[in-house]
C-alpha cells in the first residue's frame, strides 16, 4: 500500500519536532514560569498521537517501541520514589530540596529535586493519555 496523504505526513514530520521542543520547554520551565510536568506530558502525548494519526498505528508501533502501560507505571514509581527519598533522610514524605550547582555549560544552575517528581508526573501522563487513545481506537 503506497502513501496517499503525502502533505499530512510531510507537515507532521516538521510539526512533531516543534511540539516536542515546546513540550520540553514547558517541562523545564515549570518551576518559575507556567508549565510543568502535566502540561509537558500532555503536549508530548499530543505529538505522539499526531504521529499515530498521520502514519498509522502499525508503522509508529514498529518505530517507537514503548509500552505505554509500563511507561505510566515507571512514572508513578519515580514520583513515589522521590517522596520516599525524603523519608530515608529523616524528613517528612515528599520533602523536596533545591540547591545551586555549577554545571559545565550552563554555569550556576538552580536544580530542584521537584524536577524528578515532575519527570515522574510527565511519564505517567504520557503513558496514560497515549494508552487511552490507543485502546479506544484499536477496539473496532
Partner 1 sequence: MSGSGEAVGAILILVGAIFSLISAIGGIRLPDVYTRSHAASKSSTLGVLCALVGTLLFFLISDGYFSIRLILGIFFVFLTAPVAAHVLCRSAYRNDVPLVGTAEDELKDYYMENENTDEDKEEVTENEAPAIKLIDNETPLQVSET
Q: How far is CA 3 from the centre of its chain?
A: 29
Q: What nine digits make up the cell of 89? A: 533522610
Nearer to partner 1, 42 or 116 (CB): 42
Closest CA relative to residue 34, chosen from 43, 44, 46, 25: 25
Does 15 bind partner 1 (CB under 8 A)? Our answer is: yes
Give CA–CA dist 82/137, Å, rounded: 34
The helix or strand, by DSSP H or E, that contains position 101, with its residue range, turns out to be strand 98-103
Taking CB under 8 A as the binding criterion, the range among 7-15, 73-81, 112-120, 124-132 that sits at the site for partner 1 is 7-15
Give the nearest distance from C-beta 3 to partner 1 in angstroms: 7
Sites for partner 1 among residues 20-39 (CB under 8 A) = 21-22, 25
**What DSSP state is assigned to residue 94?**
T
Give CA–CA dist 135/140, Å, rounded: 10
Give the nearest distance from C-beta 18 to partner 1 in angstroms: 6
Which of 18, 64, 87, 97 binds partner 1 (CB under 8 A)? It is: 18
**Residues forming the site for partner 1 (CB under 8 A):** 1-8, 11, 14-15, 18, 21-22, 25
Amino acid at each position: 500500500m503506497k502513501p496517499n496523504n503525502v502533505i499530512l505526513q510531510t507537515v507532521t514530520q516538521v510539526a512533531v519536532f516543534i511540539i516536542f521542543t515546546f513540550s520540553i520547554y514547558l517541562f523545564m520551565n515549570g518551576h518559575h514560569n507556567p508549565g510543568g510536568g502535566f502540561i509537558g506530558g500532555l503536549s508530548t502525548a499530543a505529538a505522539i498521537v499526531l504521529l499515530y494519526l498521520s502514519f498509522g498505528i502499525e508503522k509508529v508501533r514498529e518505530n517507537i517501541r514503548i509500552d505505554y502501560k509500563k511507561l505510566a507505571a515507571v512514572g508513578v514509581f519515580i514520583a513515589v520514589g522521590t517522596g520516599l527519598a525524603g523519608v530515608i533522610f529523616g524528613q517528612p514524605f515528599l520533602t523536596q530540596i533545591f540547591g545551586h550547582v555549577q554545571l559545565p555549560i550552563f554555569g550556576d544552575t538552580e536544580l530542584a529535586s521537584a524536577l524528578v517528581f515532575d519527570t515522574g508526573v510527565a511519564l505517567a501522563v504520557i503513558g496514560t493519555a497515549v494508552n487511552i487513545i490507543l485502546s479506544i481506537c484499536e477496539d473496532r
